[in-house]
Amino acid sequence: MKCPKCGVQMSMIREIEQTNRQEKGIKVYYRCPLCNYKVLTEEIHLDFSNGTIKIMVKPALRASFIK
């Protein structure tokens, strides 16, 4: 994917954040190495409660831009 601002090839990044012991969130986005412009493509939420694992995937219907 090319950056809509400057035209440079963007890199795919996966960022994991742990909100507490039982939940994790993963954001998948493209980032431009030149101007740091970001495009969010997918969000994944993991819930490890009650001895089970729930996986919720929220794909971006249209790529949303992160400022």
- Domain membership of residue 6 (yes or no) is no
pLDDT, tens only, 50-67 = 889 999 999 876 655 665
Structural domain for 18, as ranges:
11-66
- What's CA 63's distance to the chain center, in Å? 11
> What pLDDT score was predicted for residue 47?
93
pLDDT per residue over 14-54, tens digit each? 999 988 888 999 999 999 999 999 999 999 999 998 889 99
pLDDT score recorded for residue 33: 94
* Cβ–Cβ < 8 Å for 47, 20: no
In a domain, 61, yes or no: yes
With respect to residue 51, please indicate whether it lies within any of the assigned structural domains: yes
pTM more than 0.85:
no
The residues that bridge with 31 in the sheet, in sequence order, are 11, 38
User: Which residue in 44, 5, 4 sits closest to 28, CA to CA?
Assistant: 44
Q: Is residue 36 part of a domain?
A: yes
Q: Is residue 5 part of a domain?
A: no
User: Based on the structure, what is the number of domains in the chain?
Assistant: 1
